[in-house]
Amino acid sequence: MKTTALIEFGRDGSFGIFTPDLESTIIGNGNSVAEAKADFEEGAKELIFSYTEAGIPIPKELQNLSFDYQYDIPSFFNYYSMINASGFARFIGMNPTLLLQYKMGRAYISEKQIKRIEEGIHELGNMLLAAKFTA
């Protein structure tokens, strides 16, 4: 089953992941998104193992489990650090300082701004998919 795994930047500067759609609680934490993902995926394996170890049938929601990771803005730019936030802000016509504030988790971000950033990421992705190189 594929389920949503939300990745969020914490006030303490760490990153957390949780599954809002499952009755079973799976969480992960780390100093980076990569660390949080590793902790989260290990937690999922341990949860499933605990059922098999105890001889209890694995709940349907945990069978063939996979995750659709969703990011808040700071987590996205942490995980995809190769994307320069200032350059990306100029690409989508946003004030670079404002996007840096969002990246650092220091400013409230509206749904409208989230959508603007997400659409820009998708546009950039499509441009990268279309890129061709020659020797």
Q: Please state which architecture CATH assigns to domain 1-81.
A: 2-Layer Sandwich (3.30)
Q: Residue 50 and residue 80: Cα distance in Å, rounded?
A: 33
Q: Write down the mean pLDDT value for the chain.
A: 96
For residue 1, pLDDT over 90 is answered with no
Query: Per-domain residue ranges for the chain?
Result: 1-81, 83-135
**pLDDT 10s digits, 17-27:** 999 999 998 99
Q: Position of tokens 């937690």?
A: 43
User: Average pLDDT, stretch 37-44?
Assistant: 97
CA distances from 22 to 25, 74, 104 (A): 7, 24, 29
For residue 125, pLDDT over 90 is answered with yes
Strands (E) in the chain, as ranges, are: 2-9, 15-18, 27-30, 66-71
pTM tops 0.85, yes or no: yes
Report residue 90 CA to chain centroid gap. 23
CA distances from 129 to 23, 74, 78, 133 (A): 37, 24, 22, 11
